[in-house]
Structure 1
Amino acid sequence: MAGERRRRGGEGPRERTRERGTRREREREREQQQQQQRGPGRGRAALVVAAAAALALGLAAAAAEWKRWSAAARLVTPHPAPPALPPGSTGPLASPQRFWGTYRPHVYFGMKTRSPRALVTGLMWLRQSEGGGGLRHTCEQSDGLSRYGWLMHDGENFGVQEIRDGDLSLKTEFVKRPGGEHGGDWSWRVTARTEGAGGPAPLLSLFFYVATDGQGTLRPHLENGTRLAAVTGTTEELGDFTLTFLRPTAGSGEDPKYASYHYLEAASPGLHRLTEVVRSSLSDRFVFAPPGRPRRRFFAVDAFRGLPGEAPRGRLLLHQVTLEPPSTAEVTFESGSAAGRPGRLAGAALSAALGRHAAAFERRFEETFGLGRKGFPPAQRRFAQAALSELLGGLGYFHGRSLVQAPLQERPVPAPEAALFTAVPSRSFFPRGFLWDEGFHQLLLARWDPALSREVVAHWLDLMNAEGWIPREQILGEEARAKVPPEFLLQHSETANPPTLLLALQRLLPAAPPPFLRRLFPRLRAWYDWYNRTQAGPLPLTFRWRGRDPQPERFLNPKTLASGLDDYPRASHPSPEERHLDLRCWMALASRVLAEVAERLGEPAGPYREMERALSDNELLERLHWAPELGAFADYGNHSAAVGLRWQPAAPPAPGRPPSAPRLVREVREAPRPRFVEALGYVSLFPLLLQLLRPDSPRLPAVLAAMRSERQLWTPFGLRSLARDSPLYMRRNTQHDPPYWRGSVWVNINYLALRALSGYAGAEGPQRERAAELYRELRHNLVANLYRQYAESGFLWEHYSDSTGRGQGCHPFAGWSALVVLVMAEDY
């Protein structure tokens, strides 16, 4: 037994071991088989998961790329609605009276047609005592002219301008005469006089030129080899024409005047470089030698050897006449298609035409504005005529491409070619179109010439892209681009501007032809929807300007250029939680105007009226924007009141580099928190300015009190933009950024204030008499100061000092400052 047990014991375990190993091997084999069976599936699953992830990433990337591409495509795609301006409506057959005009506001005197590649004409002058560097052509504040601007200009047929350059006085006049199929004829007269005692009269050179830009031909006709007597030419838009330079006469008479003549024929690298072409061609090797008089050397055009950097693409022909004032020079343009003209529009015929047009302008001005009936003396009536005329003389026709960029794009792109007929804020500093300025311009021009104003509004709406966006600043063409610093060329598609064109449209609406409104309405709807979609705020019925300065640490208070109020104090730390009061009020106005247009056309107006009621709800307005601690309406956002600028010491110089200069940087002494912005100023007034406050509103007395408080907004010259007791009153925004909308008096907002006060004075309510009293005082203060500053300086200004009333900023600024005409007429 024992032996059996041992045998079994001895063999058993071996057997058991062998048997156990066999099972394990079988299990291992089964596991291996299962693994072999499962392995490819698990790998395939992993591959499927990886592929799905890669596909998802690829699809996400593709979707992002598609989104970027789609946004880029829509950015430069014109809006699909039919154009607001019918095709061809600005051409010589459809609109001959406005085909030619002084549509080059950036030059002291010049004319062009409303054409993409227009023939341009212009005047330069040179007081020979200043040498070649004193050449005048484009309007420059650095030229130091004591006065220039249109005294009369009807926007179509004629204009009279006065220019004071030191002791030289130039009077430029033009008259147009209809006829033919290309806009008719026109004539210029330039009269020169000098002021000074004794001695020989200073030498003056007048340069009259004609230039093409890429198409058309010019042929000079010379007398005696040096005098350019005439130019004949042809362009696509003008057909054949003749430009004649008449010999100068003495003063206003017809006696011939001794003069020296020179001419220049040159290949032009572009209209924006005409001044350089002429300046580089000047030589002082010439001698002025009148019979029996001393001989004098002077500068004249000699030879042009080209400018570096740009290939020629146009032609320039220039006629220089050098003489001693007083003198008169005339230029005539005659269209080849104008038949049966009674004679050349020059000399006595030109004088008679100028007289007729001047008389008609004065009659029309009085019929329109009634300032004589209101008792304004002749000097103030002439001031008002000059304000209107400078705005009309500042109308420009531009053609070219904007440079635009969407938020998802890495690089800017050129927009499609576009044309724009628009007024400009300032011929010297802002000779281009600005969206929010233009609405104010058209308030005045709509009163003078509704048809002209409708055309301008349509031009602006035709700039709209597929998204409903209109770039706020229009820099079209090389001449416009040459006047703009590079950092301001780019327009960002998320950036808005106040829709002030709707103010003008509201004025135009009662007499606007239904077909005009029908063409505008799809674009108005798209524009309105764009604001609601892109400028929405953090809460329902709130709005927020996009595009504030992206580097807040550089600024005492980051600017909000989109609002038009630039450096007006907003929340110190930009964030999506901001609620901007002025934009909310603009959207209430937009809803009102859209509803009025829809009702005129028989379109559904309910949604617009509903939005108007919601945005005009005074109780909701108070909940969202009344700041009890300020006692005024205000913005809301992430804000700190304890901010300031401090000097940051210069950093130690790096090896081989110069030391950096000290600079002002922002210092935040208290962390920001969500709160109302303690800035009482123009933004606080917007519920009143756009007349959202009910006449019986319990907040209206506080708003009127702030307006009349000399500690806050009241001055003897108009309402200041920011209360004198506000923390940022007249504070610099950076080392190189002086205060702008932080205390100065601005005419456009004062106009809105007077318009609103007039409305509240005429409405039943407890503040009726108070509003009427403020209206009378404010109107007197504003008109008196603007007239006084014009009489002393010769200009309307961009804004005015709240402490002295003196004009500030750029000049001439007959943009919205020309609204003083409507204030004088009490036409709101």
Structure 2
Amino acid sequence: MARERRRHTGTEHRPLPLPRKATPPERDWTRVLLVALVSCAIGVSAFAYSGYMRWSLALRVLTLHPSPRVWPPNSSSSALSPNMFWGSYRPQLYFGMKTRSPHSVVTGLMWLSQAGAPSLRHTCEQGDGLARYGWLLHDGENFGVQEITDRGFTLRTEFVKRPGGDHGGDWSWRIRASPQASSSPGQILSLMFYVATDGQGTLTPHVAGRRHLTHVTGESEELGPFTLRFLTAEGGDGHVSYNYLSTTCPGLHTLTDVVRTSLRDHFTHPTESGGSRGNKRRYFGLDSYHPPPLPPGTPAPPPHTQLVVHQLTLQLPFQAEVLFESGSFQQRPGQLSGVSLGTELDRHKTNMENRFQSIFRLEEKGFTPDQVAFAQAALSNMLGGMGYFYGSSVVKSPHNAEPVLYPAAPLYTAVPSRSFFPRGFLWDEGFHLLLIGRWNPSLAWQSLGHWLDLMNADGWIPREQILGSEARSKVPDEFVIQKSENANPPTLFLALRQLLANTEGDEALRRAWPRLQTWYDWYNSTQAGLLPHTYRWRGRDQDPLRFLNPKTLTSGLDDYPRASHPSEEERHVDLRCWMALASQVMADIAERLEEDGGRYRHDHNILTDNALLDHHHWSERLGAYADYGNHTQNTALEWVRPRAAPGQDPRSVPPPQLIRVVRKPPRLQYVGALGYVSLFPFLLQVLDPSAPHLGRLLDLIRDADKLWTPYGIRSLSKGSPLYLQRNTEHDAPYWRGPIWINMNYLTVRALYLYSQMEGPHRDRLVSLYRELRQNLLANLYRQYKNTGFLWEQYNDQTGQGQGCFPFTGWSSLLVLIMAEEY
């Protein structure tokens, strides 16, 4: 307590005051100047500190996590991982290979039918209209066999690798081209094999005669010296026409355009007619490349890529082989071609088929050989769809005025679709790794580690990875920028829970632990709701007029109905359940690593408290779990025609717009949308087996007027107001009725797991499990046989595949459903 001052009384002796000296004028000015200087210094310091804080916060999004990486930068090198160095890591192509290195030399195949209008094939495009294409067998490491059905002919692509030397060893390709029964005889086809650099390395073409490229020698930092040989094609009409191209271009994303603009139709190919070779047919062949003219004043882009293309043109049927030989492979036991190539392919096929049978045991479960081949193709397309990407994401935080480039990094990941989504998606990969991890845990750990190594210091992982010029060229501009406040479902915890079943990845798990802790904390700090232990997805669309129901891309369920008017009061039941799963897995990992996992067990106990869950998310009116927020059901899209202002030219009036009209004001309430989100406490096993609401959820699942169909569980009930409703003029319903295989996998899995537990609904769970599993598998197999593809989603009224194709990401989970591996 402060000491009190004594007051002086009037009787006390006081000394007489001394006369004050006059203050010189210059001293006053000195004081004023001193005060001004101090004030200025304080202001400058405050401004500098404010600027530093803004700079620091802006830089934060680009600051990578400080812990050692799960996989060091050289972990994919030929020295540490020689068997995995080369691979079909260019899933966006019909056929191509590269190394797992940042600036790999790449190889690929293009082809051109010389019948009718020429159609150059290279990158997987839905618009190409191929009847079918995909891997029949691919073990993710050693070999792959693919079949491609184009108009009038079929291509069978095969590759096999042979380790040796210091740079990843050799590999060989075999391409077999066969006419279809309905095609006209004498069909001419051109195959184009190419090799290209990606900013480093040199290529030297070796040509016999005028146009016959026999081989290419090259050298790069990762590969050392190498040779790519083009063996003489077999079959055809006995004659081969050759063309080649050697040029430079701005980057790998321009390869298709460079080849297309290099084609000329003044070449002729001799054909047999009546036993003679007198007839000649004109064909499109590679000539010279002349870059298209640039607008005046635009500087030409510097050459980044050296490209060499070998074209052979001949009559069907025929086969051709291409050999890559590493200069460091000194003890090569002959060329990997002809009989030797066939023998190696047969050996790897047998090994894969035997291994597939030992892991999944489908024959023992009554599946036919054709159905087993279907499952092998699904697995092979998942493995053959794994790519290696390198580059920088374009990111933005609330503290960045403009988007910035994230630090360049590699990513080894599976992709959802080779044609439409040939890049990494965070929430998709958790589902992918369930199947990959069952086949080869090492591949799953490599992918999982690469994803975690993309984490910044705050714990954020950009949810969509668009790395490198090739990947960027396939993405609309509106989806390129990744925002640092936006999450994605942490499905990697699904994969982690499965991977914890063995000890193979314990070393990687130990390195991943600091990142997993930060990631878990990031969700709890950035995605938390207003009430304790509630959660809310950030990043919902904010435009109040454009969307019938603002999308929530960050949830992974895009246009699934949420609260009609986004607000801070929202509570999202699916995110709460994802965090319940995450807390359980974090506690299990902590126990495995002998770390303190008490807080994770505590969180898990709270997030699985069924009474608290019901308090926050049970809607008695809906009879199911639901989101909560500022919501109204009374919205509609209506055409609105702007009126011309007085004196305005009517022709300048904007065209009619389809905008949202709110007919009844929103209020805080449960969202009346019955569908996948309503089932999450069941799907992720948050509910107790004896929970009173479990039976009601099972009723909803089996109700044909709500979620049940003969083909699987639909995403949104037929009785929901937004069932099959468009979200904008151009946005067809996406998660508003169609059947999605990842969510049906979770449903089948939950039915199976709950049926193994004691509870009042056990017999019913067994019955529903068997019926749903049969419906799913029968429709997936039927659609594959009819169309040649797995699809992104399936029509809930006909079972037909729809959306993008081939979708060999999480739709390939059918293998685990067939094998009953949950």
Alpha-carbon offset, residue 779 of structure 1? 0.4
Correspondence for 2:581 among 582, 585, 589:
589
Counterpart for residue 470 of structure 1: 461
Q: Aligned pair 1:78/2:64, yes or no? A: yes
Counterpart for residue 624 of structure 1: 616
Deviations 1:503-543 (A, max 9, x none): 00110012134322110100000100110111110100000
Question: Secondary structure of the equivalent of 2:584?
Answer: helix
Alpha-carbon offset, residue 86 of structure 1? 3.0
Q: What is the alpha-carbon distance in structure 1 between the residues aligned to residue 181 and residue 307 of structure 2? A: 35
Correspondence for 1:728 among 717, 722, 725:
722
Q: Aligned pair 1:136/2:87, yes or no? A: no
1:509–1:42 distance in 2 versus 1, CA, 3 Å: farther
Counterpart for residue 734 of structure 2: 740
Q: Does the CA contact (< 8 Å) of 1:234 and 1:241 recur in 2?
A: yes
Q: Aligned pair 1:188/2:169, yes or no? A: no
Correspondence for 1:115 among 90, 101, 109:
101
Q: Does the CA contact (< 8 Å) of 1:399 and 1:420 recur in 2?
A: yes
Alpha-carbon offset, residue 311 of structure 1? 2.4
Correspondence for 1:568 among 541, 560, 569:
560
Q: What is the alpha-carbon distance in structure 2 between the residues aligned to residue 600 and residue 242 of structure 1? A: 48
Alpha-carbon offset, residue 64 of structure 1? 5.0
Alpha-carbon offset, residue 214 of structure 1? 1.2
Question: Secondary structure of the equivalent of 2:193?
Answer: strand
Q: What letter corresponds to residue 583 of structure 2 in structure 1?
A: S
Q: What letter corresponds to residue 108 of structure 2 in structure 1?
A: G
Question: Secondary structure of the equivalent of 1:805?
Answer: coil
Q: What is the alpha-carbon distance in structure 2 between the residues aligned to residue 225 and residue 827 of structure 1? A: 58
Counterpart for residue 133 of structure 2: 148
Q: Aligned pair 1:484/2:475, yes or no? A: yes
Counterpart for residue 793 of structure 2: 799
1:50–1:214 distance in 2 versus 1, CA, 3 Å: same
Alpha-carbon offset, residue 203 of structure 1? 1.0
Counterpart for residue 227 of structure 2: 242
1:45–1:815 distance in 2 versus 1, CA, 3 Å: farther
Alpha-carbon offset, residue 662 of structure 1? 1.4
Correspondence for 2:204 among 219, 226, 231:
219
Deviations 1:461-518 (A, max 9, x none): 0000111100000000000000000111100000000010110011001213432211
1:657–1:264 distance in 2 versus 1, CA, 3 Å: farther
Q: What is the alpha-carbon distance in structure 2 between the residues aligned to residue 403 and residue 186 of structure 1? A: 35
Counterpart for residue 258 of structure 1: 239
Deviations 1:673-718 (A, max 9, x none): 1000000100000000100000000010111111111111100110
1:707–1:52 distance in 2 versus 1, CA, 3 Å: farther
Question: Secondary structure of the equivalent of 1:295?
Answer: strand
Q: What is the alpha-carbon distance in structure 1 between the residues aligned to residue 641 and residue 675 of structure 2? A: 34
1:179–1:702 distance in 2 versus 1, CA, 3 Å: same
1:208–1:651 distance in 2 versus 1, CA, 3 Å: farther
Alpha-carbon offset, residue 66 of structure 1? 3.6
TM-score by length of 2: 0.93
Question: Secondary structure of the equivalent of 1:298?
Answer: strand
**Bigger Rg, which one:** 1
Counterpart for residue 160 of structure 1: 145
Q: What letter corresponds to residue 96 of structure 2 in structure 1?
A: G
Correspondence for 2:679 among 685, 691, 705:
685
Q: What is the alpha-carbon distance in structure 2 between the residues aligned to residue 573 and residue 44 of structure 1? A: 61
Alpha-carbon offset, residue 811 of structure 1? 0.3
Alpha-carbon offset, residue 552 of structure 1? 2.6
Correspondence for 1:341 among 309, 332, 337:
332
Counterpart for residue 782 of structure 1: 776
Counterpart for residue 595 of structure 2: 603
Q: Does the CA contact (< 8 Å) of 2:644 and 2:650 recur in 1?
A: no
Q: What letter corresponds to residue 235 of structure 2 in structure 1?
A: A
1:292–1:441 distance in 2 versus 1, CA, 3 Å: same
Counterpart for residue 99 of structure 1: 85
Q: What is the alpha-carbon distance in structure 2 between the residues aligned to residue 240 and residue 459 of structure 1? A: 29
Q: Does the CA contact (< 8 Å) of 1:269 and 1:307 recur in 2?
A: no
Q: Does the CA contact (< 8 Å) of 1:162 and 1:169 recur in 2?
A: yes
Map of 1:676-715 to 2, 5 A cutoff?
676-715=670-709
1:60–1:639 distance in 2 versus 1, CA, 3 Å: farther
Structure 1 gaps of 5+ residues are 1-35
Q: Does the CA contact (< 8 Å) of 1:647 and 1:665 recur in 2?
A: yes
Q: What letter corresponds to residue 545 of structure 2 in structure 1?
A: E
1:257–1:591 distance in 2 versus 1, CA, 3 Å: farther
Counterpart for residue 4 of structure 1: none
Deviations 1:143-186 (A, max 9, x none): 01110000000001000000011111000000001111111100
1:242–1:110 distance in 2 versus 1, CA, 3 Å: same
Q: Does the CA contact (< 8 Å) of 2:152 and 2:183 recur in 1?
A: no
Question: Secondary structure of the equivalent of 1:786?
Answer: helix
Q: What is the alpha-carbon distance in structure 1 between the residues aligned to residue 563 and residue 204 of structure 2? A: 62
Counterpart for residue 499 of structure 2: 508
Q: What is the alpha-carbon distance in structure 2 between the residues aligned to residue 387 and residue 198 of structure 1? A: 29
Counterpart for residue 250 of structure 2: 269
Deviations 1:221-275 (A, max 9, x none): 1112211000111000001111100111017xxxx84110001001121100000
Question: Secondary structure of the equivalent of 2:771?
Answer: helix
Q: Does the CA contact (< 8 Å) of 1:277 and 1:307 recur in 2?
A: no
Question: Secondary structure of the equivalent of 1:420?
Answer: strand
Counterpart for residue 454 of structure 1: 445
Q: Does the CA contact (< 8 Å) of 1:248 and 1:257 recur in 2?
A: no
Q: Does the CA contact (< 8 Å) of 1:652 and 1:660 recur in 2?
A: no
Q: What is the alpha-carbon distance in structure 2 between the residues aligned to residue 591 and residue 454 of structure 1? A: 20
1:138–1:59 distance in 2 versus 1, CA, 3 Å: same
Question: Secondary structure of the equivalent of 1:552?
Answer: coil
Q: What is the alpha-carbon distance in structure 2 between the residues aligned to residue 521 and residue 659 of structure 1? A: 59
Q: Aligned pair 1:179/2:164, yes or no? A: yes
Alpha-carbon offset, residue 59 of structure 1? 7.2
Q: What is the alpha-carbon distance in structure 1 between the residues aligned to residue 546 and residue 42 of structure 2? A: 41
Q: Does the CA contact (< 8 Å) of 2:739 and 2:793 recur in 1?
A: yes
Question: Secondary structure of the equivalent of 2:59?
Answer: helix
1:676–1:217 distance in 2 versus 1, CA, 3 Å: same
Alpha-carbon offset, residue 130 of structure 1? 3.8
Correspondence for 2:342 among 351, 360, 363:
351
Q: Aligned pair 1:663/2:687, yes or no? A: no
Map of 1:415-454 to 2, 5 A cutoff?
415-454=406-445
Q: What letter corresponds to residue 635 of structure 1 in structure 2?
A: D
Counterpart for residue 25 of structure 1: none
Structure 2 gaps of 5+ residues are 1-21, 295-300
Question: Secondary structure of the equivalent of 1:707?
Answer: helix
Q: Does the CA contact (< 8 Å) of 1:108 and 1:138 recur in 2?
A: yes
1:685–1:217 distance in 2 versus 1, CA, 3 Å: same
Counterpart for residue 27 of structure 1: none
Report how many aligned residue pairs link the two structures.
Answer: 788
Alpha-carbon offset, residue 325 of structure 1? 0.6
Question: Secondary structure of the equivalent of 2:277?
Answer: coil
TM-score by length of 1: 0.92
Alpha-carbon offset, residue 304 of structure 1? 0.6
Q: Does the CA contact (< 8 Å) of 2:707 and 2:713 recur in 1?
A: yes
1:161–1:293 distance in 2 versus 1, CA, 3 Å: farther
Q: Does the CA contact (< 8 Å) of 2:239 and 2:270 recur in 1?
A: no
Alpha-carbon offset, residue 62 of structure 1? 5.4
Q: Which has the higher helix share?
A: 1
Q: What is the alpha-carbon distance in structure 1 between the residues aligned to residue 221 and residue 293 of structure 2? A: 29
Q: What letter corresponds to residue 96 of structure 1 in structure 2?
A: P
1:619–1:279 distance in 2 versus 1, CA, 3 Å: same
